[in-house]
């Protein structure tokens, strides 16, 4: 089962982000760009604080509390799908393009920054197996 998924995963991601990119509107980036940065910062703060609080409540090791938030940053695909779905709702007809473009721009920022932060967290947490 996992072999089959591994074989088609790249194609699915390429199709998903290509279709999502069709909704990207450069004309609204003056507003959407600022919103994208705020979304990215909000996601980071949410991940860091959420993992810190959760780790404290569960009495997880200090290293988990300190670095788990970094490792969760690369998970943004669902936000894109939900934004495109929300854009189709009449309540978002006025701000739909700005909303989707801001979320897509925040995904671009996230995909550039998150892997580096995840690598940092994995090394700092001692999970690489390299001494």
Give domain status of residue 86, yes or no. Answer: yes
The number of folded domains in the chain is 1
Residue 51 lies in a domain: yes
Question: Quick one: tokens of 72?
Answer: 């969760």
> 108 is in which domain, residue-wise?
2-124
Residue 11 belongs to a domain:
yes
Q: What is the pLDDT along the chain (131 residues), one digit of tens a residue?
A: 666 667 776 777 677 777 777 777 777 878 888 888 898 899 889 989 999 999 999 999 999 898 888 888 776 667 777 787 888 888 888 888 888 888 888 888 888 888 888 888 888 888 877 75
* DSSP structural state of residue 91: G
pLDDT at residue 57, as a whole number: 95
Q: Decide if 36 is inside a domain.
A: yes
Asked if 66 and 87 touch (Cβ cutoff 8 Å), the reply is no
Asked whether residue 83 is assigned to any structural domain, the reply reads: yes
pTM above 0.75, yes or no: no
pLDDT at 46: 92
Within a domain: 130: no
Which residue bears the tokens 């690598």? 119
Q: Do the domain assignments include residue 106?
A: yes
């Amino acid at each position: 089962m996992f072999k089959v998924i591994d074989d088609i995963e790249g194609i699915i991601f390429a199709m998903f982000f290509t279709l999502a990119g069709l909704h990207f509107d450069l004309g609204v980036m003056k507003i959407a760009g600022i919103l994208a940065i705020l979304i990215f910062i909000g996601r980071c703060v949410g991940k860091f604080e959420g993992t810190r609080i959760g780790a404290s409540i569960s009495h997880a090791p200090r290293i988990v509390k300190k670095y788990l938030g970094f490792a969760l940053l690369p998970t943004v695909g669902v936000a894109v799908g939900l934004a495109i779905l929300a854009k189709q709702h009449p309540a978002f007809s006025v701000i739909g393009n700005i909303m989707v473009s801001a979320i897509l721009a925040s995904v671009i920022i996230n995909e550039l920054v998150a892997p580096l932060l995840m690598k940092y967290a994995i090394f700092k947490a001692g999970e690489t197996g390299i001494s």
